[in-house]
Amino acid sequence: MNRIKLSIVAFVLASSSMMAQTLQDAIKLTNNEQFDKADAAFKALIANQANNGEYLFYYGENFFKNERPEKALEQYKKAVEVNATSPFGYIGLGKIEWYSGKQAEAKANFFKAQTLAGGKNATVLMKIAEVYTQAETKNLADATTLLTQAAKLEPKNPEVFILTGDVFLEQNDGTNAVNNYEKAGALDPKSVRAILRQGQVWNRAKNYTLAIDTYKKAKNIDSSFAPAYREMAEIYLRAGQYGNAAYNAKRYLDINNDCDARGRYAGILFEAKNFKESIVAAQEAQKCAPENVYLYRYLAFSQCEAADYTNGLVNSDAFFAKATPETKIVPKDYEYRAKLLSKNGKDSLAVIEYKKAMELQPDKVELNADLANAYIKLKKYAEAIEAYKTKIAKTKANSNDYFGIGRAYYYNKDFVNADSSFAQIVKAQPELPLGYFWRAKANVQQDLKNEKWLAKPYYEMYISKVKLEDVEKNKKDLIEAYTYMGVYYMNTKDFCTAKTNFKKVAEFDPANKNAKTFLDSAEAKKCP
């Protein structure tokens, strides 16, 4: 009888150990961003123990880390419903509340979780500290207190030191962050997460070479550790090494070839400026994840860059229509929407979206130029001038800025300021015909009766600067310039030079009435 009891106890302990290991395997899949595989693993666990609050909590964590907080909340609630004495469900509820700005309610749930754990569960303390550290609204003081308590309970748990390192990292204390990550690595030499965190320290310090070397160490320990490839792809993006970025993104996809990974791959391809490939990747991801709102973002962005403005706007519309309160709207969503609206002739709406984008990123002054262009198309020249003035005052202005504000002044009939603006183009790029041509136009308007022939030197310079290979595309403007010069020489009685200019007009436009009238005149016929 005693032997039977012992056998039963041994079986129960063995089963418990197997389940714990299985839980760790599922958590590892989540940490490796293999969310679909983790999903299947958690479902299998819960099928065997439907009332296990810890399983449901970590299942919720899988959704939360995959940016699906609403699905995470479902699991956290279930954890409380099926096992009200388990602390983990309350941690999940508190986490959602904390991220939603409901700090008082969150702390109440965290307190309940700690009470149920009796202060003896290091994991409970660590998961609460993780929320305080990773959320946008941080509570690093309480996180430190909780991790100190957790370290006393489990001094050899590497996770304690990883999270402690995270607290120091959030305080921009890279030295102590690395020290704690190294302690975690000493306790578990195969901890790729500890090495990854060290790489993030160097990444934040903009020591990209050391960061990449560190990520490579993580890959050498576990070649299937997907976050290392993702982080490397992001570093290469910042370095402008788009080929390396795309390669590492593809390796990430090879490991995590699920719907969510395909979506992230589309996003990285967009950042790597592989717009056509990003469109294909996003469309492929939509086949298995049509509910993924972020795929519409990547499509809208990439189609805008690929000049497919019609479909880009369709997908931008879909993104905002499908967005929920939990969807992370970023300034680029408004920025690209504004561009797409403008390209589709909806500049009044584009102005609204540009303003939203600028409110969210006031330092991105260059958007004023795009806003100004939309105003010009709406013939709101005064507003365009103000937008360009802001851009020029706060950034290093370029010829495009001076051309834009010059046109706004010109169409607003402020020809003096228009001329001054176009003069800046001539100064910056003296070989560019554009500045001379528009200076000529601005001076024509200041001398409508041709009393001073103010435009003459600028039309002459314009004609001299147009290259032979560019004549055809500048034909319309050249007709204007040669006509002005022809009229000037007519008025100075230099009919032969006038004839030379009107012959050029006739070459470009044989039906031109001004050229035909002069070339048929007696004065012109006297010239060779």
Within a domain: 281: yes
Which tokens hold the place of 317? 């519309």
Long-range contacts of 374-379 (CB under 8 A, 24+ apart): 374/338, 374/342, 374/347, 374/350, 375/347, 375/351, 375/408, 376/404, 376/407, 376/408, 376/411, 377/342, 377/347, 378/347, 378/348, 378/351, 379/411
Asked whether residue 282 is assigned to any structural domain, the reply reads: yes
Q: Compute CA 370 distance to the chain's CA centroid, rounded to the nearest angstrom.
A: 17
Distances (CA, A) of 361 to 366, 377, 383: 11, 24, 20
With CA atoms as reference, report the closest residue to 269 among 291, 243, 307, 287: 243
* Domain count of the fold of the chain: 1
- Residues 309 and 340 sit within 8 Å (Cβ to Cβ): yes
* CATH number, domain containing residue 303: 1.25.40.10
Q: Is residue 405 part of a domain?
A: no
| Any domain includes 191 | no
Neighbours of 123 (CB within 10 A): 19
pLDDT digits (tens, 9 = 90+) for 361-414: 999 999 999 999 999 999 999 999 999 999 999 998 999 999 999 999 999 999
Q: Which two tokens stand for residue 101?
A: 């700005």
Question: Tokens 């609403």 identify what position?
Answer: 70
Number of C-beta neighbours around residue 138 at 10 A: 16
Answer whether residue 277 is part of any domain. yes
Tell me, what's the pLDDT at 21?
53
Question: What is the distance, to the nearest Å, from the Cα of residue 368 to the centroid of all Cα atoms in its chain?
Answer: 18
Residue 301, domain member (yes or no): yes
d(CA 528, CA 93): 94
CA–CA distance, 124 with 527 (Å, rounded to integer):
100
- pLDDT value at residue 478: 98
Q: For 185-214, how does the pLDDT look when each residue is reduced to its tens digit (9 = 90+)?
A: 999 998 899 998 998 898 888 888 888 888
- In this predicted structure, what is the pLDDT of residue 39? 92
In a domain, 256, yes or no: yes
Which pLDDT belongs to residue 429? 97
How far is residue 448 from each of residues 14, 439, 455, 457, 500, measured CA to CA in Å?
A: 98, 14, 10, 16, 24
Q: What is the pLDDT along the chain (528 residues), one digit of tens a residue?
A: 343 333 333 333 333 333 435 899 999 999 988 888 899 999 999 999 999 999 999 999 999 998 889 999 999 999 999 999 999 999 999 999 999 999 999 999 999 999 999 989 999 999 999 999 999 999 999 999 999 999 999 999 999 999 999 999 999 999 999 999 999 999 999 889 999 899 889 888 888 888 888 888 888 888 888 888 888 888 888 888 888 888 888 888 888 777 777 888 898 899 888 999 999 999 999 998 888 899 999 999 999 999 999 999 999 999 999 998 878 899 999 999 999 999 999 999 999 999 999 999 999 999 999 999 999 999 999 999 999 999 999 998 999 999 999 999 999 999 999 999 999 999 999 999 999 999 999 999 999 999 999 999 999 999 999 999 999 999 999 999 999 999 999 999 999 999 999 999 999 999 999 999 999 999 999 998
Quickly count: other Cβ atoms within 10 Å of residue 164's Cβ: 26
Token pair for 45 = 């666990």
In a domain, 438, yes or no: no
Q: Domain span at residue 230?
A: 223-308
